[in-house]
């Protein structure tokens, strides 16, 4: 099993386009995806060469965005499957990419580590919105209101809206 490194250590310019393409293909097919299929879909990001897809997928596996496994036991060919973290961060990347394209900023001009750090910082607002939408903090607020300090109750309840 590969070691997953947290942070933006292994990110490159092909990582997020590969992750987004992998998630889209996996959602359509419902089965593990070959790198050549990912390369075709990466054409929307002007990165449709198979070597670019391989680099992006290798980086995605190291960052925990995808899982790679052999097609057959002794086969050198790999199949890829996205993780939940890959789906979430891929969606955040798409939102950032669309916002930058609307403001006429070239996505390729932004260093990959800056993009990765931005995606990581955007996880909290996304999680916060999901918790509000599904009223998860309201549940924790009711749970904590029994036998906890007033400070802890007021801190949790203020987020349950």
pLDDT at 142 (0 to 100): 55
Residue % of the chain over a pLDDT of 90: 19
pLDDT at 158 (0 to 100): 41
Largest CA distance in the chain: 61
pTM: predicted TM-score of the whole model, two decimal places: 0.73
Parse the chain into domains and list their residue ranges: 15-133
155 vs 157: CA distance, rounded Å: 6
> 61 near 67, Cβ under 8 Å?
yes
**Angle at 12 (CA atoms; ends 9, 84), nearest 5 degrees:** 75
Q: What is the CATH number of domain 15-133?
A: 1.10.10.10
147 vs 139: CA distance, rounded Å: 15
Which of these, 15, 25, 84, lies nearest to 53 by C-alpha position? 15
Q: How confident is the model at residue 10 (pLDDT cuts 50, 70, 90)?
A: confident
| 38-90: pLDDT as tens digits | 998 888 777 878 888 889 999 999 988 999 988 888 878 899 999 988 998 89
């Amino acid at each position: 099993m590969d070691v997953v490194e947290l942070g933006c250590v292994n990110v490159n310019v092909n990582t997020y386009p590969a992750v987004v393409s992998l998630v889209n293909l996996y959602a359509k097919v419902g089965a593990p995806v070959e790198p050549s299929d990912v390369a075709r879909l990466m054409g929307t990001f002007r990165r449709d060469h198979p070597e670019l897809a391989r680099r992006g997928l290798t980086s995605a596996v190291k960052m925990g965005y995808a899982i790679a496994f052999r097609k057959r036991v002794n086969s050198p060919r790999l199949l890829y499957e996205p993780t939940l973290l890959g789906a979430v961060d891929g969606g955040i990347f798409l939102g950032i990419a669309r916002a930058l394209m609307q403001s006429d900023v070239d996505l390729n001009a932004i260093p990959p580590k800056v993009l990765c750090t931005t995606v990581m910082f955007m996880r909290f607002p996304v999680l916060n919105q999901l918790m509000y939408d599904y009223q998860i903090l309201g549940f924790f607020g009711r749970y904590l209101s029994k036998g906890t300090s007033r400070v802890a109750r007021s801190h949790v309840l203020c987020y349950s809206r």
